[in-house]
Amino acid sequence: MTSSDSTRERPNELQAPAPASASPFNGEGPLRNEGNQLHAASDSQEGSPRNSGMPNWITSLEEELDKKLLVVLRDGRKLIGYLRTFDQFGNIVLEGTVQRLLVDNAYADLYVGCMIVRGDNMILFGAVDDSRPTPLEPKPLCDVLAAKQEQEEQERQKRVGHRAWLDRQLGEDW
């Protein structure tokens, strides 16, 4: 065996432990520490595709962490809360969440607390700027709920009236 063979590493032999300076928590190695969050070291490289397996809209959630968000769901509900975390599927956790009920130019907020929202249930999300004035007028919850119920009843009567008109025009068994 030559001296060059003895210095080569053998794959079957145990390796010495990594030095303490290569800890994942000191800014070196595969992870780097920024504030309270750990980031992959590849995130710091300019031009590299970040989170390559995720759609672009999910990666933009990272910029909105700990900010107040408005989230519109597929069923029409509007949630406002602080974004605390998200995952690769776009599922989010909102803290201090209120459901905003809108009727005409009035609104009321119904406190719902901490919410987990599935990513496939969201239509859109965006940051809320509390410093901008809103054209909506805050009203008591009971007034907004009564107005919303009245509005839904009018829509139902309109649908029934439209159905009756179609029945008259096309016959009962269309």
- Is the pLDDT reported for residue 27 higher than 50? no
Residue 157, SS3?
A: helix
State the residue range of the domain holding 121. 56-139
Pair 135, 104 in one domain? yes
Query: What local confidence, expressed as pLDDT, does residue 54 receive?
Result: 65
Pair 157, 117 in one domain? no
Query: What local confidence, expressed as pLDDT, does residue 143 receive?
Result: 93
pTM for this one? 0.60
The torsion region of residue 96 among left (phi > 0), alpha (psi -120 to 50) and beta comes to left
Query: What local confidence, expressed as pLDDT, does residue 139 receive?
Result: 94
Q: What is the mean pLDDT of residues 37-49?
A: 44
Per-residue confidence at 53, pLDDT binned at 50, 70, 90?
low
**Tokens representing 156?**
């139902």
Pair 83, 101 in one domain? yes
Query: What local confidence, expressed as pLDDT, does residue 1 receive?
Result: 53
121 in any annotated domain = yes
Query: What local confidence, expressed as pLDDT, does residue 164 receive?
Result: 79
Query: What local confidence, expressed as pLDDT, does residue 58 receive?
Result: 75
Q: Looking at the 3D structure of the chain, how many domains does it have?
A: 2
